[in-house]
Amino acid sequence: MLDNKKLTPLSAIGEFGLIKRIQEKVTIQQISTHKAIGDDAAVLEFIGKQILLTTDMLTENVHFNLMYTPLKHLGYKSVIVNLSDICAMNGTPSQITVSLAVSNRFSVEAIDELYEGILLACENYGVDLVGGDTTSSQSGLIISITAIGHANADDVVYRNSAQKGDLVCVTGDLGAAYMGLQLLEREKEIYKANPGIQPDLQGNDYILKRQLKPEARLDIVELMHSLKLKPTAMIDISDGLSSEIMHIGLDSGLGAKIYEAKIPIAEETLKMAVELNIDPTISAMSGGEDYELLFTIRPEDYEKIKNLPDFTVIGTMTDVSDGFKLLTRDGSTVQITSQGYNAFLEQS
């Protein structure tokens, strides 16, 4: 953390000094990176691959709150958000570019801390930082990251290719990131009302990590390749299960039936849901930011995953006329609506 340190204003080193400072910390890991930071453009060499490209922008007080988000965690998460999209295409991420808009309240040391997280994510996933941009901001911190990846043409998986009768599957567990966010928001409001009270976060490491330092499921992509399992459709769960299953269904011209009892929810998530009086199914369906993978497979491929703990079958793809249904634990049927995060709707 930056407490009790003498901080250097960004104006002391300027934009070019900041770029040089970042460049000196970058280590190249990919053979496809021919030229990285230091010229007008990066040069990448891919042979016999389809190139995957995605970008995400994170804005202060919209996507993150620096009152409870450490800058190193924010840097890490901002990379993961993009790598997860490459994984959702059944690809392998290889490079990123990072563009920042920063206000003068951020010091050189603060940007160093942000890049510690960015470079840690690059190291953990074997990804190269090959460029980007920096500029000033009048409204806090804005981070825009572009991720580049690759896949064999036959391996790329889209959202729009699910088939009727396919099994709907998810990796990991859902709802934990949302519950971590709710805990942080609760403690923020308590602190604002009484700054003398220390945050009560003990015993909630799992849900806090899922919110502040998520991981992209590159391990699942690699496992699928080893199993010779190609999903018929796939998407990452960034905006909540309800939104993502509707993306796959609508793009594929299908409906879906999801079984509430099959949705994987961690014990820590359930515990916090009880404490905060929140329905854990709602946190899984609408919370988002889990960055797990939602995918469909042919029924005959079930044998390949049935004994693997990180895969859960939660439903089936149905005829478009059936719509999107949640079969609850008590046997009733509820219409699924897209209640996940929407950047252009006011969030409660």
Round to whole Å and give the CA distance between 256 and 86.
Answer: 24
Q: What angle do CA 296, 302, 308 make, to 5 degrees?
A: 100
* Mean pLDDT, residues 186-215: 92
Of the pLDDT bands very low, low, confident and very high (cuts 50, 70, 90), residue 270 is very high
- Compute φ and ψ for 9, nearest 5 degrees: -65, 145
Of the pLDDT bands very low, low, confident and very high (cuts 50, 70, 90), residue 25 is confident
Q: Which of 112, 151, 117 is nearest to 32 (CA)?
A: 151
* Mean pLDDT, residues 296-306: 97
Q: Is 65 exposed, middle or buried (0-12, 13-18, 19+ CB in 10 A)?
A: middle
Residue 105 pLDDT exceeds 70:
yes
Q: What is the pLDDT of residue 39?
A: 55
Q: How many CA atoms lie within 13 A of 244 on its CB side?
A: 30
- With H, G, I as helix, E, B as strand and everything else as coil, classify residue 15: helix
In sequence order, what are the residues at sequence separation of 6 or more whose Cβ sits closer than 8 angstroms to the Cβ of residue 328?
260, 334
Q: What is the pLDDT of residue 58?
A: 95
Round to whole Å and give the CA distance between 10 and 182.
Answer: 33
Residue 26 pLDDT exceeds 80:
no
Residue 81 pLDDT exceeds 50:
yes
Average pLDDT, the chain: 91
Between 3.30.1330.10, 3.30.365.10, 3.40.1350.10, 2.40.100.10, what CATH number should domain 13-151 receive?
A: 3.30.1330.10
Domain extents in the chain: 13-151, 167-335
Residue 130 pLDDT exceeds 80:
yes
Q: What is the pLDDT of residue 344?
A: 40
* Mode of pairing for the β-strands spanning 255-259 and 324-327: parallel
Q: What is the CATH topology of the domain spanning 167-335?
A: Phosphoribosyl-aminoimidazole Synthetase; Chain A, domain 2 (3.90.650)
Q: Which of 167, 155, 153 is nearest to 295 (CA)?
A: 167
Query: Element (H or E) spanning 71, and its range?
Result: helix 71-88
pLDDT over 90 for what percent of the chain? 75
